Every structure is written in C-alpha cells, then in structure tokens.
Amino acid sequence: MKGKYKWLLCLILASFLVTAVSAQKITVWTWYDAGLGQILRDLVKNEFTPRTGIEVEIVTVPIGDMTNKLLLAYLGGDAPDVVELYSNTVVDLGIRGALLNLNTFPDVNEVKADFNPMLLPALQYKSALYAIPGEVNWTWTYYRADILSDIGVEAPVTWDDVKELSIKLKAREMDIYYYYQGDPSALIVGKYLPFSFQRGTDIYSADGTASTLDSPENIEAFKELTSLHTDYKLPLEDTIYTTFVNGKTPVQILQNWYYHAFEVTAPHLAGMWNISLFPGTKQRDGSIDHTNTGKMLVWSIVSSSKQKEAAWEFVKFINSSETTVKWMNRAYESNDKARLFFSNMNSIEHAVFPEEHIALAITALETCRMQTAVIGGNIANRYVDFAFNKVVLQGDDPEAAIKQAAKESTLEIQKKLKEFDRFIKDL
C-alpha cells in the first residue's frame, strides 16, 4: 500500500508541475498589427507556445505611444513582460530601472553572437544590455540604372563620386538626394554619423561623458557633409517617389525599406533601377569604408516582470534565425508582399530578396553601425542639427558651428549625468 501511495503522490506532484509550467503566461507589447501582427501571433501560437508551454498575450500598441504608455504602466504596476521599442529609447528607459539588464542571463553571449556587434552600442550602457535587436533599417543607394546608363556614368561608390556625379546630373537638371529617417527632433545627426564612422571615430567619448564633435576627424566629417549642400547644392527636401519615377532625382540614398516602397509605387520601373552600397570614404590603404547607420526595432524585458525566464525565452525565440527566416518568408507571401530585414546575421542570407542583391544586403548589415547611447544623447544630438542649419541655411563657418555644438553637447551630457547619477552609479 505504501508503494501505491508513493506512486499516487508522485503522479499528483508531476501533474502539479505540468500545470505550473503550462500556466506560465506573459504579456507582450508590439507595434506589429494587421498582416505582420497576424504572422507574429501565428508563430507564437503554433511554434513558441507548443514548444515551451508558455502562453503569450500579444497587445498591439502604436510605436509612437509605446514609450509613454510603458512608463505609465510601469509606474502603475501594470506593465507587460516584453516590449518592442525603437532602439534610441532603450538606454534612457533602462537606466531609469524600467528595463531588465539582459546580461544577467547566463546564455546572453550566445544570443549576442548572432548579431553585428556594431548594432549593440545603441542598446547598452556600461555593463548593462537592455534589448536584443529585431527588425533593422540600414542605409544604401538607389539609382535609376537606365538613366545613368544613358548618361554614361556609374552609381557612386565614394562621396567623391557623389560630388562628381552631382555636377553631371545638375547639368541635365537632375540631382542626388541623401535622406535619413529617424528621430524628428534630430534628423541631421543620422546623416552625419556615417561621415564620422568612416573616419574611424564617434561623436562621443568612449566613456560617454563628453562630445568629441570638435576632434579633427569630426570637424572634417562635418565639413564634408555640409559641403554637399553648400558647395554641391544637394537638395534638403525631395518628394522621393515622384522624382525617382520621373527621373529628376535618379540617385537617392535612403533606408532599405524603400526597396519595397519603390516596388509598390512604381511597378512599371521594374528592371530600370538598382541598388548599391552606401557611399564610402577611401582609406589610406586604398580600401573604401562603407559604414552606414540606421534604426532598429528591438525587444526588451520590463524589469517588473514576474516571468523573467519565460520572457527571455520569448525574446530568444522571436529573434532567432529560425523564427526571423519564417517571418520574412511569410511577410512576403502575404498580400502586402512585404520585404523585412532582421538583425540576426544568420537569417539575412535567407531574406526574400532578389538573389543578385543578397550579397549586397549581407554587406550592408555587416557595415551598419548604430549610434552609441550616452546619457543625454537624445538631446545632445540636436546640437548637430542646429550646427547644420547654421552652416547650410545661414552661411556660418562649419568649423566654428560644430565646435560650438561640441561645447553645448558636452554641457548637456554633463547635466544629464548629474541628474541620473543615482541610477547609473551601480552599473
């Protein structure tokens, strides 16, 4: 009888454990809606939950409202377990304690190994990592191959090529457009960063305590960017789709999602346009540095989550090569015919993309570098915009303008470091 009772006790205990595991449930906030949102829900329902036993409630929140809603929910004790954010908001939320330091998970290095390390500085501060990269937008060059062929010129490879081509196009009443889409309060910094990166530097000191905009390399970088508009008169605004179709702006330096946009808006141009790497800077050894920048959607775990391990399993699943490959394929098979790119380097070669462009996409991701996150950086970035406007719109001296921006940026960073000292002293 004793053996019978022991067996029964083991059966009850096992049943309890299974119930406990299956009862795990997490809430995920995402911006994905409509077709892409349904793909996410299907992947979770059909693959993640059966594999892990973790139930997932997926809530769609507009990306523009995500940060404010998260802060309110966190303060009110009603935050989700996992949240999808733009990369430029992550560190500010993390140092306030709203996001979990993912470096606390023992297998985090295995996860990070799947990503271009140049993407991670946007998501970490000191010893803390607050997110894992998801969908990524890099920058490269679109060009009307038919028009350039008629003129007898090639797509630009370097910034010197951009300048020379600009002169030839202007003689034919055409132009080149260079646009970066990012934080509306600091757009120019996204255009400026590649010039800094391609010179082997950054706009902030390694310890994140000061601006380095006044370094010789960054002054030269700023002069080159502004000269594109002051000396070569590249337009500051462009209608993009219209001018690409009518040939007024046959060369456009834009983020990767425009590929699908051009396919949808101008199907009659199929075979008449092409892409190439972001323009580069020639190095002393003769090589060309094509480092570009962009933006990311990323996945974070909210620090108040009571299901941190389950949340981590979800973050690993949603960013794995297996999942992202399936997501890319299903997105293209949908009515939207969407072309998605994810940060996982092991999935990019399987992207639903013309075969002749896959190698280009792989290189573009490998050479994409996100802005290093520093305390106060989102505000300090604006001083680059101010300096740009002083030079391009008001005719100020570029060196004086960027040196003033360096001074003001450093003051802003120092101010924020003091303000957030209580948050960062233990990192």
pLDDT, tens only, 197-226: 999 999 999 999 999 999 999 999 999 999
Higher pLDDT, 3 or 344: 344
Question: Do 99 and 228 sit in the same domain of this protein?
Answer: no
Residue 39 resides in a domain: yes
Question: Do 121 and 233 sit in the same domain of this protein?
Answer: no
Q: Which of 193, 229, 230 is nearest to 213 (CA)?
A: 193
Question: Which residue do the tokens 């789709």 mark?
Answer: 241
The reported pTM is 0.92
Question: Do 249 and 378 sit in the same domain of this protein?
Answer: yes
Q: Quick check: 21 pLDDT over 60?
A: no
Question: Do 64 and 105 sit in the same domain of this protein?
Answer: yes
Question: Do 176 and 251 sit in the same domain of this protein?
Answer: yes
Report the alpha-carbon distance of residue 347 to residue 325 in Å, rounded. 6
Q: According to the model, what pLDDT value does residue 246 have?
A: 97
Question: Do 37 and 168 sit in the same domain of this protein?
Answer: no
Question: Do 222 and 123 sit in the same domain of this protein?
Answer: no
CA distances (Å), origin 129, targets 240, 257, 425, 426: 37, 27, 16, 14
In which band, very low, low, confident or very high, does the pLDDT at 300 lie, cut at 50, 70 and 90? very high
Structural domain that includes position 200 = 151-293+371-422
Question: Do 347 and 383 sit in the same domain of this protein?
Answer: no
Contacts of residue 77, defined as CB under 8 A and 6 or more positions apart, other chains included, come to: 304
Helix (H) or strand (E) holding 46: none
Residue 204 resides in a domain: yes
Q: Quick check: 350 pLDDT over 80?
A: yes
Residue 360 resides in a domain: no
Span 175-186, pLDDT tens digits: 999 998 877 767
Q: According to the model, what pLDDT value does residue 426 have?
A: 74
Question: Do 243 and 258 sit in the same domain of this protein?
Answer: yes
Query: pLDDT averaged over the chain?
Result: 93
Span 232-262, pLDDT tens digits: 999 999 999 999 999 999 999 999 999 999 9
Question: Do 217 and 330 sit in the same domain of this protein?
Answer: no
Q: Quick check: 51 pLDDT over 70?
A: yes
Q: Helical H runs in 61-187?
A: 66-75, 90-95, 108-112, 145-151, 159-170
Residue 138 resides in a domain: no
Tally of structural domains, the chain = 2
CATH of the domain at 41: 3.40.190.10
In which band, very low, low, confident or very high, does the pLDDT at 23 lie, cut at 50, 70 and 90? low
Residue 160 resides in a domain: yes
Span 265-294, pLDDT tens digits: 999 999 999 999 999 999 999 999 999 999
Residue 139 resides in a domain: no
Q: According to the model, what pLDDT value does residue 1 have?
A: 44
Q: Helical H runs in 334-420?
A: 355-366, 377-380, 382-394, 398-419
Helix (H) or strand (E) holding 129: strand 128-129
Per the structure block, which two tokens stand in for 129? 């990592």
Amino acid at 252: Q
In which band, very low, low, confident or very high, does the pLDDT at 9 lie, cut at 50, 70 and 90? very low
Question: Which residue do the tokens 């999808």 mark?
Answer: 84
Question: Do 267 and 376 sit in the same domain of this protein?
Answer: yes
Q: According to the model, what pLDDT value does residue 259 have?
A: 96
Residue 13 resides in a domain: no
% residues pLDDT > 70 (the chain): 94
Question: Do 109 and 244 sit in the same domain of this protein?
Answer: no
Q: According to the model, what pLDDT value does residue 335 have?
A: 87
Q: According to the model, what pLDDT value does residue 64 have?
A: 83
Residue 338 resides in a domain: yes
